[in-house]
C-alpha cells in the first residue's frame, strides 16, 4: 500500500443509531450518540476526513449535522449527495472541501451501485459547474468502468470514487474478476489525470486486497468501522482499520 492512501470515515451509521430514538432531533437536544463526538474521535484516531451522506429522505444525517460538522472538524468534510436542487443549495451553503455525487433511491437500504455519469451527463453538467465555481472539489461515485470514467473526465471533475460493492459482495472467480476491474479502472483513471478514491463494502478482511490496488488515494469506509466499534470502541476501530490499510 502506498503511504499516501488515506481513510475517510463515513459516520452515517452513527446518525442511524441516533435517529432510531431521536427522529428529527438535533445535537442541542442532548440526544445520543453525538455525531460531533464521533467525528472528533475518528479524527483523533487518524482519519484524514469525515464523510456523510445528506439524503433527500433525511433517514440519518440531518441538515444541521452537516453545518455543525463543517464548524467542528479539523480535517475535511466530504459530503455525499444526490443530484437534487435542494441538496445542492445546502452544499453550496456548507461549502465542504469535497462533494461526491452519488445515485439515490428511496427504497434502498444503502447506496446501490454507481452513478450513471454517462447516462445522466446533461443533468450533471450544471451541478458540477456550480460546485466547482464555489471552490468545492467534485467527485463522482461510479462503477469501475471506462465509459463512466470517460464521462467524469468530460464533466471536468478532478476526482472519482470507484464503487467496490460488487467486489465486496462476491466470492471466488467473480470476486477476482471484480478486483481486476477495480485495478484496471484505477490505472485507467489515473492515466487520465483523475484522483482515484474507492468505497462501499470494504472491511477489515478485504482491505488486504484493496490496499494493493495501485493509484488509490483515499478509501471512504463506514459500516464496518461502526460495526467493529460496538466491540472495541470507535477510536480503536478506526486505528485497527488504518493499521490494516498499512499491512
Give the other-Cβ count within 10 Å of 64's Cβ: 13
Q: What are phi and psi of 140, to 5 degrees?
A: -120, 130
Residue 172 CB burial class (10 angstroms; 0-12, 13-18, ≥19)? exposed
Of the candidates 13, 60, 163, 200, the residue annotated as catalytic is 200
**Of the candidates 62, 58, 48, which has an alpha carbon nearest to the alpha carbon of residue 94?**
62
How far CA 215 is from CA of 24, 85, 117, 169, 212, in Å, comes to 40, 33, 21, 23, 9
CA distance 80 to 141: 9
Q: How far is CA 141 from the centre of its chain?
A: 8
Choice among 13, 27, 40, 53 that is catalytic: 53
Known catalytic residue at 200: yes
Q: Report yes or no: 121 and 148 within 8 Å, Cβ to Cβ.
A: no
Q: Which of 27, 40, 43, 80 is catalytic?
A: 80
Verify whether residue 53 is a known catalytic residue: yes
Catalytic, 80? Answer yes
Evaluate whether 213 touches 198 at the Cβ level (below 8 Å).
yes
Residues labelled as active-site residues: 53, 80, 200
Amino acid at each position: 500500500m502506498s503511504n499516501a492512501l488515506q481513510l475517510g470515515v463515513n459516520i452515517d451509521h452513527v446518525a442511524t443509531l441516533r435517529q432510531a430514538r431521536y427522529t428529527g432531533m438535533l445535537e442541542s437536544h442532548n440526544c445520543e450518540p453525538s455525531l460531533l463526538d464521533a467525528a472528533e474521535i475518528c479524527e483523533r484516531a487518524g482519519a484524514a476526513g469525515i464523510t456523510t451522506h445528506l439524503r433527500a429522505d433525511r433517514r440519518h444525517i440531518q441538515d444541521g449535522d452537516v453545518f455543525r460538522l463543517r464548524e467542528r472538524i479539523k480535517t475535511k468534510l466530504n459530503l455525499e449527495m444526490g443530484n437534487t436542487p435542494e441538496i445542492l443549495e445546502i452544499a453550496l451553503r456548507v461549502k465542504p472541501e469535497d462533494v461526491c455525487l452519488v445515485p439515490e433511491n428511496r427504497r434502498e437500504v444503502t447506496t446501490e451501485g454507481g452513478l450513471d455519469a454517462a447516462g445522466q451527463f446533461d443533468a450533471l453538467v450544471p451541478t458540477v459547474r456550480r460546485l466547482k465555481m464555489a471552490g468545492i472539489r467534485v467527485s463522482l461515485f461510479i462503477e469501475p468502468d471506462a465509459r463512466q470514467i470517460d464521462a467524469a473526465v468530460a464533466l471536468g471533475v478532478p476526482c472519482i470514487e470507484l464503487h467496490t460493492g460488487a467486489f465486496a459482495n462476491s466470492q471466488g472467480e467473480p470476486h477476482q474478476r471484480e478486483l481486476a476491474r477495480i485495478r484496471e479502472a484505477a490505472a485507467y483513471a489515473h492515466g487520465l489525470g483523475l484522483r482515484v478514491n474507492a468505497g462501499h463494502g470494504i472491511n477489515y478482511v478485504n482491505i488486504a486486497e484493496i490496499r494493493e490496488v495501485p493509484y488509490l488515494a483515499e478509501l471512504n469506509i463506514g459500516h464496518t468501522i461502526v460495526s467493529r466499534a460496538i466491540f472495541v470502541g470507535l477510536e480503536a476501530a478506526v486505528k485497527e482499520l488504518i493499521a490494516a490499510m498499512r499491512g
